[in-house]
Structure 1
Amino acid sequence: MTLARTKSEATGAEQTRGRRSQPAGRAIVLGSERLLRRCLDFPPARDPAHDHCQTSRLGLAPPTASASSWPSNWLKAASISSSTPRTANDCKVQSNRSEQQAPQPSDPSPRMPQQTDAQKGCRSMDLEREAGGRRMLAGLLAASHLTPIDRLPYVVADHAQAAGFTQVLLYLGDLQRRVLRLLAGEAESQGHETELQIDGTTPGRAYQYGHILPAGPTKSSGTSWWVPLLDGTERLGVLYVEAEQDDDRTQEDMDRLAALLALMIVSKRTSSDTLAKLGRTERLSLAAEMQWNLMPPSTYADGRVVISASMEPAYRISGDAYEYAIDGPLAHLSIFDAMGHDTAAGLCAALALGACRNARRTGAGLVAKSEAVEAALIEQYGDHRYATGILATLDTRTGMLSWVNRGHHQPLIIRGSRWSTHLECPPSHPMGTDLGVEVITCREQLEPGDRIVLYTDGVTEARSPGGEEFGLARFTDFIIRHHADGLPVPETLRRLVHAVLVYHNGTLQDDATVLLCEWLGPSAEATDQASALAGLPDEHFQQHSEHRSRRP
């Protein structure tokens, strides 16, 4: 009896242990599920359950339960947690997954996919970063009114952090567009080069082609970029930007930051000696000091025309001047070459330019403008000073080019990157000589894509050490070849003038000026071609930015 009772009690205890073993196993699984849910709800950085959270995110089984024993909702939660976004790159991966899992067009009854927790997290993250970009721009706009140019790097550093930019440096091009020079205080310049060559460097390529280019890894976990700095289509320099993220949002914010900073810099340019000194690598002559302050920006573009100009020797320019202006559908183009190579030549060219502008802005035509210039020179100098020049007007609605020649080289037309020719027009006498030769208005019908080139004799008459001229053939061939290479127009002219300098052993004996205008068509809104020719940021990035700006 005792033996039987003992055996019965042992059997009962074993059954009790068996009944208890099943709930215990379930409790372990359910406890792990609760632990996983804690991981999904933004766990603190030093949560004691951190190791279990990491195990769950990797999709591993809890240490006391096999994967085969997980409930279906546990597996679903593990799948969600493995794709929970932590950075913008995680969102990029999540987006790719969503595209791969999207219903195919052949599916007879596609269902709209439900937004996952990961997608909601990415959307929230994107909205937060978008708001940060807006705070950066709004802060800089508010500060721009009272910020002197030497304080700009510090102000930019303060506000750029809102968009996730850990460092922003500003490099501006010099007068000859050979180097990029750092605009910075002592703190910012530590550890960074203060002068960068344009030719043969990554920041130089960003400047030359208008592309946002990677600068390489940073000391932290972020990335760095070289971003073109453009005022409209005038190339000012580049930004060096270190960013926490590497995605489309980052590039959009960098591009917008560069556009705003360019406007801020140009708004301070006429009153800032800091910018004037930064753009010089040697001292300007007195005539050059006057001339550069009279010139319009070196590049202009819209959907109808691309205009670009270059002058050398930049630090000793004297008698040359160029001018362009847009008046509704009309593009006015002028080039002047005053007699001499001294300060008096600079004064004569400045007077010719001022008289031309004054007459044009009162509605004078081409002949009347040239006569106004002549009258101003005779009044000031008698018959002791004169200037040659071309004054032209392009009607962008029709492509009709009209011009007068006042004793200057005939305009050059380059068509289809295949051939070039001078436009014939009977020249009149140089302005200021009062010789009484009739001034004739000539006309030429252009085709879309035609390039009109106005130039002074310093370009074609530059001589090599052996005495050979650079020549018209070499001049036109250079423009055609570099256009075929896909270079932006301002970069073609930069290289052309530098080639002329090299050909003349680095020192020109006469001013060399080129003014180029390409007619694209009648529409100011069709800007794709103008964007490429002027060297604006990549077309695909612009289209992407426009798409992103229209999203809800």
Structure 2
Amino acid sequence: MTEGEEGLRKVTVDRSEGFGERLLGVLLDRAHEMPPQLIAPLIAEEVGRIGGRDVSILLQDYDQLILAPLPGMRLVVGEPERIDDSQAGRAFLSAAPVEHPQADGVRMFLPLLDGSDEVGVLAVTLNSVDDDDRRLLRRLAGLVADMLVTKNSYTDQFFQARRREPMTLAAEIQWSLLPPLTMITPQVAVAGILEPAYDVAGDSFDYALNDNILHMAVIDAMGHGLDAAVLATVAVGAYRHARRADVGLAELYMFMDTAIDEQFGPDHFVTAQMMRLDIGTGHLQWVNAGHPSPLLIRDHRVIQPLESPGTLPVGFGGAIPQVSEQELSRGDRILFFTDGLVEEHRAGDEPFGEERMLAFVDRAGCVGESVQEMVRGLSHALMRERGGVTTDDATLFLVEWCGGTTDRLVTVEV
């Protein structure tokens, strides 16, 4: 036997199953064939193995105002929790566990994170909490979030729990098109919001992170109701088709323009912005086809609108567009928005306007630390500023460039 072979024989790895691995493993093993309606009691059963009780699963509603309880066997179904003023809301907004001492123990609220998109909050009560409990519950919450997202494809129950009022057909079509509302990585973060959540029709956004390039689009189809939703569906489909063919922004615009014109004729159009961000260098490129100029935010202050040569809305047969460029600094945020935000007004009043929008974002730019908190806070604050009036679709889409590398993420520490 060689010295190297002898050394290999001396290396031993403990592969025995500890309590935590067994708990999570049982949940994972049983979840594969578990129908959606039995996910809740399975979670409650596994939480009970570590002494947990009074389990609740709270899901974010479409308005992003409350956390709605998911009904299910062995789950505690209480009243909805307001995101802005509840312990569950604190956990949701901070994406970090919150512990609330009670007479009979400690109520823990754990964010349910699917990647970086927040599904909701897992709430559970224990007699006491130590670091082992915290570690195990944090990992359990991550597994629960993945299970909810996976099973959501097979059931309407989660959708029904999140829906707090009737939703139009057009809005359901739009919500089915959307990617996750939030994506956070060490190098870049994005968050978007649509309003009115239950009646949106023509507004949409999309993004994809392919290697070091973040592709983004914000779309506003003309009209209202089902016609606008169908037009937006074709626009998003054309955008994704061209994006996946890896064409440049100018070619992407031309492809979308042809698709809309051939399908709907010259009387239909879509305003849009299509963007690309190199997350390694901070180099931003975009084409503006009829949208308000995006805002460059640095240190929570609006530095400037990103003015650019515009081109005709998609579907009008515009010339090959000029691609605009901007070098970002680490920590810069870019806020994209549709004209529904600036053209809205109360009866008899002037439109909200881009200047007022810019000033308001400048004042409220410190709302929340994360992109999700900021875009959600801005949307709700702007709604209040407009007196709750929303007669047109409105979209906010925020991207933050952090830079750096992700090399450390591929190293597994044992």
TM-score with structure 2 length normalisation?
0.90
Question: SS of the residue aligned with 1:311?
Answer: strand
Q: Deviations over 1:131-186 (max 9, x none)?
A: 33222211110111122222222101222233332342211111111111111336
Residue of structure 2 aligned with 1:349, choices 219, 228, 232: 232
Task: Tell me, yes or no, if structure 1 residue 173 matches structure 2 residue 50.
Answer: no
Compute the displacement of 1:194 (Å).
Answer: 3.6
Match of 1:463 in 2: 345
Q: Is the 8 A contact 2:346 2:389 kept in 1?
A: no
Question: SS of the residue aligned with 2:24?
Answer: helix
Distance, in Å, in 1 between the alignment partners of 2:287 and 2:385 is 31
Match of 1:389 in 2: 272
Per the alignment, do residues 211 and 410 of structure 1 end up closer, same or farther by CA in structure 2, a change over 3 Å counting? same
Per the alignment, do residues 518 and 526 of structure 1 end up closer, same or farther by CA in structure 2, a change over 3 Å counting? farther
Q: Deviations over 1:353-400 (max 9, x none)?
A: 100100111121101111111111111111121001111111112211
Compute the displacement of 1:476 (Å).
Answer: 4.1
Q: Is the 8 A contact 2:292 2:338 kept in 1?
A: yes
Compute the displacement of 1:301 (Å).
Answer: 1.3
Question: SS of the residue aligned with 2:92?
Answer: helix
Match of 1:449 in 2: 331
Per the alignment, do residues 325 and 377 of structure 1 end up closer, same or farther by CA in structure 2, a change over 3 Å counting? same
Task: Tell me, yes or no, if structure 1 residue 279 matches structure 2 residue 162.
Answer: yes
Q: Is the 8 A contact 1:401 1:444 kept in 2?
A: yes
Q: Deviations over 1:410-469 (max 9, x none)?
A: 2221123233212222111111112x4341111111111111121101122222456244
Match of 2:89 in 1: 204
Match of 2:46 in 1: 159
Match of 2:141 in 1: 258
Residue of structure 2 aligned with 1:500, choices 382, 397, 405: 382
Distance, in Å, in 2 between the alignment partners of 1:445 and 1:352 is 28
Tell me the percent identity: 35
Compute the displacement of 1:318 (Å).
Answer: 0.7
Compute the displacement of 1:249 (Å).
Answer: 1.0
Question: Which structure 2 residues correspond to residues 85-234 of structure 1 after superposition, within 5 A?
Answer: 131-185=18-72, 187-189=74-76, 193-217=78-102, 219=104, 222-234=105-117
- In structure 1, what residue type is equivalent to 2:224? H
In structure 1, runs of 5+ residues without a counterpart are 1-129, 528-545
Distance, in Å, in 1 between the alignment partners of 2:36 and 2:79 is 17
Distance, in Å, in 2 between the alignment partners of 1:481 and 1:209 is 22
Question: SS of the residue aligned with 1:454?
Answer: strand
Q: Is the 8 A contact 1:470 1:503 kept in 2?
A: no
Distance, in Å, in 2 between the alignment partners of 1:292 and 1:525 is 34
Per the alignment, do residues 526 and 418 of structure 1 end up closer, same or farther by CA in structure 2, a change over 3 Å counting? farther
Q: Deviations over 1:270-310 (max 9, x none)?
A: 22100111110111111111110010000001111011101
Structure with the larger helix share:
1
Larger radius of gyration: 1
Distance, in Å, in 2 between the alignment partners of 1:136 and 1:157 is 12
Residue of structure 2 aligned with 1:371, choices 254, 268, 280: 254
Per the alignment, do residues 218 and 185 of structure 1 end up closer, same or farther by CA in structure 2, a change over 3 Å counting? farther
Distance, in Å, in 2 between the alignment partners of 1:504 and 1:279 is 26
- In structure 1, what residue type is equivalent to 2:197? A
Per the alignment, do residues 231 and 477 of structure 1 end up closer, same or farther by CA in structure 2, a change over 3 Å counting? farther
Compute the displacement of 1:229 (Å).
Answer: 1.3
Compute the displacement of 1:325 (Å).
Answer: 0.6
Match of 2:14 in 1: none
RMSD: 2.3
Across the two proteins, how many residue pairs are aligned to each other?
398
- In structure 2, what residue type is equivalent to 1:447? S
Q: Deviations over 1:234-290 (max 9, x none)?
A: 111111111243111111111111100000001112221001111101111111111
Q: Is the 8 A contact 1:465 1:505 kept in 2?
A: no
Compute the displacement of 1:474 (Å).
Answer: 4.7
Distance, in Å, in 2 between the alignment partners of 1:232 and 1:477 is 34
Distance, in Å, in 1 between the alignment partners of 2:237 and 2:116 is 25
Q: Is the 8 A contact 1:133 1:162 kept in 2?
A: no
Question: SS of the residue aligned with 2:201?
Answer: coil
TM-score with structure 1 length normalisation?
0.68
Distance, in Å, in 1 between the alignment partners of 2:370 and 2:324 is 30
Q: Is the 8 A contact 2:330 2:402 kept in 1?
A: yes
Task: Tell me, yes or no, if structure 1 residue 242 matches structure 2 residue 125.
Answer: yes
Structure with the larger strand share:
2
Distance, in Å, in 1 between the alignment partners of 2:296 and 2:100 is 40
Distance, in Å, in 1 between the alignment partners of 2:358 and 2:145 is 33
Q: Deviations over 1:24-78 (max 9, x none)?
A: xxxxxxxxxxxxxxxxxxxxxxxxxxxxxxxxxxxxxxxxxxxxxxxxxxxxxxx
Residue of structure 2 aligned with 1:430, choices 302, 306, 313: 313
Distance, in Å, in 1 between the alignment partners of 2:408 and 2:368 is 19
Q: Is the 8 A contact 1:306 1:517 kept in 2?
A: yes
Question: SS of the residue aligned with 1:513?
Answer: strand
Q: Is the 8 A contact 1:465 1:504 kept in 2?
A: no
Question: SS of the residue aligned with 1:270?
Answer: helix
Distance, in Å, in 1 between the alignment partners of 2:364 and 2:290 is 30
Which aligned runs of 4 or more in structure 1 are off by greater than 6 angstroms? Answer: none
Per the alignment, do residues 505 and 446 of structure 1 end up closer, same or farther by CA in structure 2, a change over 3 Å counting? same
Q: Is the 8 A contact 1:407 1:429 kept in 2?
A: yes
Question: SS of the residue aligned with 2:258?
Answer: helix
Distance, in Å, in 2 between the alignment partners of 1:388 and 1:343 is 17
Distance, in Å, in 2 between the alignment partners of 1:391 and 1:475 is 21
Q: Is the 8 A contact 2:92 2:120 kept in 1?
A: yes
Question: SS of the residue aligned with 1:484?
Answer: coil
Per the alignment, do residues 468 and 131 of structure 1 end up closer, same or farther by CA in structure 2, a change over 3 Å counting? farther
